[in-house]
Amino acid sequence: MNIRNIAIIAHVDHGKTTLVDKILHATKVFRENQATGELIMDNNDLERERGITIFSKNAAVTYKGVKINVIDTPGHADFGGEVERVLKMADGVLLLVDAFEGPMPQTRFVLQKALSLGLKPIVVINKVDKPNCRPEEVHDAVFDLFFHLDATEEQLDFPTYYGSGKHGWFNDSLTEIDNIEPLMDGIIKHVPPPSVQEGSLQLQITSLDYSSFLGRIAIGKVSRGVIKENQQVALVQADGSIRKTRVKELYVFEGMEKKKVAEVPAGDLCAVVGIEDFNIGDTIADAENPEALPVISVDEPTMNMTFGINNSPFFGRDGKFVTSRHLRERLLKETERNLALRVEETEGGESFLVYGRGILHLGVLIETMRREGYELTVGQPQVITKEIDGKKCEPYETLVVDVPEEFASKVIDLVTRRKGELLVMETKGEMQHLEFDIPARGLIGLRTQILTATTGEAVMAHRFSDYKPWKGPIPGRNNGVLISKNQGKTTAYSIDKLQDRGTFFVDPGEEVYAGQILAENVKPGDLVVNATEEKKLTNHRASGSDDATRIAPKTLMTLEECMEYIQHDECIEVTPNFIRMRKVILDETERNRQAKKMAAEA
């Protein structure tokens, strides 16, 4: 069959989406005069803003008469659920590695999944135009990684290509050329055509799309048989139940678009319209003889957060969707396509426990909901503990930090304070390469501290390693916060007088309410302040006493930074236009009562 299905996997920022751009341009998918821009596949606003891939995407190109289905995958381990399911559609993987950084934690994570599925790997060493790059050393490091991951003899005999995605060339040697043809030829030569079994129809749904005209669209690879338009099929669900249904329309991928077809043979990827109430992992099978494929298993989440309705005094001012019913419907809809996410209702029904892979995974969900017009409050992220052999265990992560030599001691100090253990310390060019074993709890809030200590020079990455015994208390935020005493608009006069007490998160003229966090205190312990007091005007003037107020600009915090900053008695109010940090209990008297009660119980 003249089809190749290939997934592009790599650590974040190693150039996957840029390589897909070059493949699309090299195979003349676009007209000569068509303006395409950069990072064509990252078409979601959030992806473009953050410069990362969040959702896996499909494209198809034709090269020398062979159709190549290309799957672009995310690099962050937080979105590993996306990678694990789409690898089922591929027959080979393009492992992209940075010629300077070499294999990184997420490279290991996604490669392990690909090798266990028996996919044929092609190694691409990218960015060989960077100063201080070391392609030969990186090649050896990749071989060692394959060996450690128990690759088969055949997988260890992988072909390697070198090049620069940015400058649009890849070759099987370090000789620079002006195209990526050697890599395209290598894909056709080394990636096997899809292995097709004899038998009736089987198609596993590994991804889904949505269209306002067609509704939910199931995407997957036809494992065997042929799927046809208007065909009567059986939908075999994860719980074993079987439902008869009909295929209305069929599409295959062509370039960046979908093309309508009458039938799709085994081995090709397709999009199926007309199937109702399906979930990822379900099998579309023959109506008379339905046989299910093994259900897709995804690694369990390691972190949870409480999502609740917005119960602040500014409730309903900003968003369109504000009730718990809206929240429940949106979260359940998200679990359909986001396999690594789980949602549980709490007793009152007003809030939900949402389980995810990490802060970024949950942060992207909250940011997406905010942009859709939802108002909600979210609590402090908590790690999920397990009991193994009678011991309380927690998730541990492998943390990798590349940092200039002069900052290495600061990084080691910060990580060890949070119960991290240094495993590896080696020099890579001008950088120190540090590897730690650290409880997942210790990572919350660590990124901001490390970036501050290293003046933004550190490069951090981490991945889940294992559940290990509980490490005891980990020190959290040292400083307290300044809390608003009343509701109203902040004034420059008040903020000016309070500036020596803390660093403010609000500017003069912003509306605040009682219980809202206004600033970080310079000392431990919380302080209730009045930031809405007006200056009393008199008809006396004195030179010197009427100096203009000099106010430092407010500290802007992203949603993820807020999630890492808050403590157990605090939460974040998220609306389409505002992100505010606040105390869970807004009333000061009630807060003090609760604090005394907890102290007495302790």
Choose among 561, 564, 557, 558: nearest CA to 381.
564
Using DSSP, state whether 182 is helix, strand or coil.
helix
Query: Is 196 among the annotated ligand-binding positions?
Result: no
Query: Is 338 among the annotated ligand-binding positions?
Result: no
Q: Which two tokens stand for residue 150?
A: 């128990």
Using alpha carbons only, give the angle 223, 224, 228 rounded to the nearest 5 degrees: 105
| Backbone dihedral region for residue 127 (phi beyond 0: left; psi -120 to 50: alpha; all else: beta) | left
- Polymer length of the chain: 602
Residues 6+ apart with CB under 8 A from 238: 279, 281, 282, 295
**CA distances from residue 339 to 81, 361, 364 in whole angstroms, order as listed:** 6, 12, 14
Nearest-angstrom CA–CA distance, 104 and 170: 21
| Backbone dihedral region for residue 403 (phi beyond 0: left; psi -120 to 50: alpha; all else: beta) | beta
| Backbone dihedral region for residue 37 (phi beyond 0: left; psi -120 to 50: alpha; all else: beta) | left
Q: HSE of 7 in the Cβ direction (CA atoms, 13 Å)?
A: 27
Using DSSP, state whether 311 is helix, strand or coil.
coil
CA dihedral 334, 338, 344, 350 (to 10 degrees): -30
Is beta strand 481-484 parallel, antiparallel or unpaired with respect to 517-521? antiparallel
Query: Is 15 among the annotated ligand-binding positions?
Result: yes
The answer to whether the CB of 6 falls within 8 A of the CB of 183 is no
Nearest-angstrom CA–CA distance, 229 and 271: 11
> What are residue 209's phi and psi, to 5 degrees?
-130, 165
Choose among 279, 294, 266, 269: nearest CA to 235.
279
Query: Is 14 among the annotated ligand-binding positions?
Result: yes
Nearest-angstrom CA–CA distance, 52 and 45: 11
SS3 content of the chain, % helix, strand, coil (to 5): 25, 35, 40
Nearest-angstrom CA–CA distance, 112 and 114: 6
Q: Which two tokens stand for residue 214?
A: 């067609």
Query: Is 13 among the annotated ligand-binding positions?
Result: yes
> What are residue 409's phi and psi, to 5 degrees?
-65, -35
Query: Is 18 among the annotated ligand-binding positions?
Result: yes
Query: Is 239 among the annotated ligand-binding positions?
Result: no
Query: Is 167 among the annotated ligand-binding positions?
Result: no
User: Which helix (H) or strand (E) segment is 397 a member of?
Assistant: strand 391-404
Q: Which two tokens stand for residue 585?
A: 């209990």
Nearest-angstrom CA–CA distance, 288 and 232: 9
Q: Which residues of 277-301 are buried (b: 16+ CB within 10 A; e: fewer)?
A: ebbbbbbbbbbeebebbebbebeeb
Q: HSE of 523 in the Cβ direction (CA atoms, 13 Å)?
A: 5
Nearest-angstrom CA–CA distance, 391 and 387: 5
Query: Is 17 among the annotated ligand-binding positions?
Result: yes
Nearest-angstrom CA–CA distance, 207 and 410: 43
Residues placed in the known binding site: 13-18, 126-129
Residues placed in the known binding site for GTP: 13-18, 126-129
